Structure 1
Amino acid sequence: MVKAVRIEAVGGPEVMDLVDVEPGAPGAGMVTIENHAIGLNFIDTYHRSGLYPLALPSGLGLEGAGVVTAVGQGVDFAVGDRVAYCSAGIGSYAESLNLPAQRLVGIPEGVSYEVAAAVMLKGQTVEYLLQRTYALAPGQTCLFHAAAGGVGLLFGQWASALGATVIGTVGSEEKAELARNHGFAHVINYRQEDVAARVREITDGVGVPVVYDGVGRDTFSASLASLQPRGLLVSFGNASGAPEPLDLQRLASGGSLYITRPTLVTYTATSEELRQSASAVFEHLLAGSLRVEINQHYTLADIRQAHRDLEARATTGSSVILP
């Protein structure tokens, strides 16, 4: 038996319970992973709250890193291999679990379990956002909301390494300083400034060609207003709730604007895409052009508090759960 978080109903953090489960032996194409570190991500709160529905009862969590302890038939991994995952299925909030081998990646030497668990989902999100959803080019300027979050700090570093100028939004001076230290050339405190007006000021009235918005309802209008004609709004998350329904005429009046709602699952749909994306993240880590800020540690027993902190925007950078 192992400890794992389960929910019987959707709701607030109180619906999560730490219980004993029996993972069983891995079937064909599966491996058993003993988690050494588990990633904490905002999407986990969407699953818990019911915003992204799950079949209940269910585990929670998408991301983790650990060691293979058992293998089923037809897999390429061996017992003792160090592996990480972020799109292999629900249930990473556990001491041990079975997952499909095709959705795992090996952890290279020089990358710790904690860093792997903190960077897989956020790093691969950054990879597909700035390399494939909109291929950000040197000399371009973009806007990224929640600059001091786990995805934001990685995005700022990666985008600035590409030669782009990154504008970020934050809610405090402390977070602004953190963003500046991670590649953001301009930081806007949305509690004190009009975001779209400030973007126009920074860009000499032109606006930006792309906005990356993982916040949702609270930032959606400012995101559209910050775009230049034929600009693209990449709406990749709903941290403040889902945006209101959009009148398509608003895209026309804004200058023939575009909008997309991408997901990591779509951009890593095949094993080849998954491993290419992860390889790009690990290459940047090992080259030193990305550093992961793990600013909060929790245990599985602390999981309710972890979600409270996340939803209160009381965290910065990345958080990990230690089994």
Structure 2
Amino acid sequence: MTKRIQFREYGGPEVMECIDFMILNPSWGEVQIENKAIGVNYIDIYTRKGLYSTNLPSGLGTEAAGVVKKVGPGVDFFFPGDRVVYAQAPLGAYSSIHNVPANKLVHLPNTISFQEAAAVFLKGLTVFYLLYQTYKVKPNEVFLFHAAAGGVGYIACQWSKLLEAKMIATVGSESKATLAKEAGAWETINYRKEDVFERVLNLTNGSKVNVVYDSVGQKTWESSLDCLSPRGLMVSFGNSSGPVTGVNLSILNEKGSLFVTRPSINSYISNYASLKYAADKLFSMIAKGLIKVDVPKEQIFPLSSVKQAHQALEARKTSKSLLLIP
């Protein structure tokens, strides 16, 4: 038996329940992981609300770090006792034990703790594909990144500095502006007090930017398009304020023959080779102290307090990462 978070219907945090769950032995190609730390991500909220549908009742979460407990048939690269981390597992990572396909796991270096790994892995892989593959950010290039003090944004601030790029970071408070600036953002915009478009015009001397990374969605859609220079790229990779729907394609023409993409990690990190490559890149930067992982103590919750964790994340009361501890 294992403790597991489950939901039987879509809705708010109240639909989640902590249950006793009978965990089966790992099947062919699977590895059974005893989770030590679990990453909480905004995509988990999308799943819980039904934006991304699943068969109900369902587990929740795709990211955790822990120790191999058992290996199934056909697995010859992982062994009981190995330290591992995963970020693209089948739903159910919000649990004390989880069965994960071996090709979704990577070995975790001893220099990185379970909590650090669960806090950074999915977010770090996301930043990797966004800044290197969706659009290759160049040295000295100015670009706009929304929600820059959140989990993905905080890592993006650090990574953009390593790339010697100039990231304009939008945030919702002065304390988050300080956090983003300290992490590596070139400039910050407090969207609660400043007009994002006007500030981008001012910071770029009217030329605007070639790329906008937007995980907010509905509320920032049009202003993000306004910030793009002709033939610029809008990278819409999240929906924290609600999904963008009913798009009139002619608006892309009107605002300068713009491009739009709605990427997901599974399209970029789609096989074990790409997973290993991105993970090695991320772990190397952490080992060298170039990317720092810090989870505020008040954002580490026991598994049974998952409702409070989701409430805090949705209320935008958090920065950096959130964790659940089984």
**Matched residue type, 1:35:** N
Instruction: Return the alpha-carbon distance in structure 1 between the equivalents of residues 218 and 245 of structure 2.
Output: 7
Instruction: Return the alpha-carbon distance in structure 2 between the equivalents of residues 244 and 199 of structure 1.
Output: 25
1:218 matched to 2:219? The reply is yes
1:66 matched to 2:66? The reply is yes
Deviation at 1:244, TM superposition (A): 3.4
Aligned to 2:309: 306
Alignment of 1:211-250 (within 5 A): 211-250=212-251
Structure 2: 5+ residue runs without aligned partners? none
Aligned to 2:95: 94
Instruction: Return the alpha-carbon distance in structure 1 between the equivalents of residues 213 and 132 of structure 2.
Output: 12
Aligned to 2:43: 43
Instruction: Return the alpha-carbon distance in structure 2 between the equivalents of residues 4 and 212 of structure 1.
Output: 34
TM-score (norm 2): 0.98
Alignment of 1:117-266 (within 5 A): 117-266=118-267
3-state SS of 1:285 partner: helix
Deviation at 1:249, TM superposition (A): 1.3
**Matched residue type, 2:56:** L
Aligned to 1:33: 33
Instruction: Return the alpha-carbon distance in structure 2 between the equivalents of residues 104 and 57 of structure 1.
Output: 25
Deviation at 1:223, TM superposition (A): 0.6
Instruction: Return the alpha-carbon distance in structure 2 between the equivalents of residues 292 and 246 of structure 1.
Output: 37
Q: For residues 276-315 of structure 1, give each alpha carbon's deviation from its aligned partner in whole angstroms, at most 9, with x where no partner exists.
A: 1111111111111101121210011100011100100011
Instruction: Return the alpha-carbon distance in structure 2 between the equivalents of residues 280 and 133 of structure 1.
Output: 17
Aligned to 1:322: 325
Instruction: Return the alpha-carbon distance in structure 2 between the equivalents of residues 281 and 311 of structure 1.
Output: 27
**Matched residue type, 1:63:** E
Q: For residues 69-93 of structure 1, give each alpha carbon's deviation from its aligned partner in whole angstroms, at most 9, with x where no partner exists.
A: 1011111100110010010211100
3-state SS of 1:218 partner: helix
Instruction: Return the alpha-carbon distance in structure 2 between the equivalents of residues 89 and 266 of structure 1.
Output: 16
Instruction: Return the alpha-carbon distance in structure 2 between the equivalents of residues 185 and 7 of structure 1.
Output: 41
Deviation at 1:204, TM superposition (A): 0.3
Instruction: Return the alpha-carbon distance in structure 2 between the equivalents of residues 244 and 174 of structure 1.
Output: 32
Q: Which runs of 4+ in 1 moved over 6 A?
A: none
Alignment of 1:260-299 (within 5 A): 260-295=261-296, 296-299=299-302
3-state SS of 2:300 partner: strand
Instruction: Return the alpha-carbon distance in structure 1 between the equivalents of residues 236 and 106 of structure 2.
Output: 27
Instruction: Return the alpha-carbon distance in structure 2 between the equivalents of residues 159 and 175 of structure 1.
Output: 17
Instruction: Return the alpha-carbon distance in structure 2 between the equivalents of residues 279 and 218 of structure 1.
Output: 35
Q: For residues 26-82 of structure 1, give each alpha carbon's deviation from its aligned partner in whole angstroms, at most 9, with x where no partner exists.
A: 111111100000000010000001111111010001100000010111111001100
Instruction: Return the alpha-carbon distance in structure 2 between the equivalents of residues 289 and 206 of structure 1.
Output: 31
- Decide which moves more: 238-247 or 63-72: 238-247
How many residue pairs match? The answer is 323
Instruction: Return the alpha-carbon distance in structure 2 between the equivalents of residues 198 and 85 of structure 1.
Output: 39
Instruction: Return the alpha-carbon distance in structure 1 between the equivalents of residues 322 and 13 of structure 2.
Output: 16
Instruction: Return the alpha-carbon distance in structure 2 between the equivalents of residues 9 and 249 of structure 1.
Output: 38
- Decide which moves more: 195-204 or 248-257: 248-257
**Matched residue type, 1:56:** L
- Give the percent of matched residue pairs that are identical in Structure 1 and Structure 2: 48
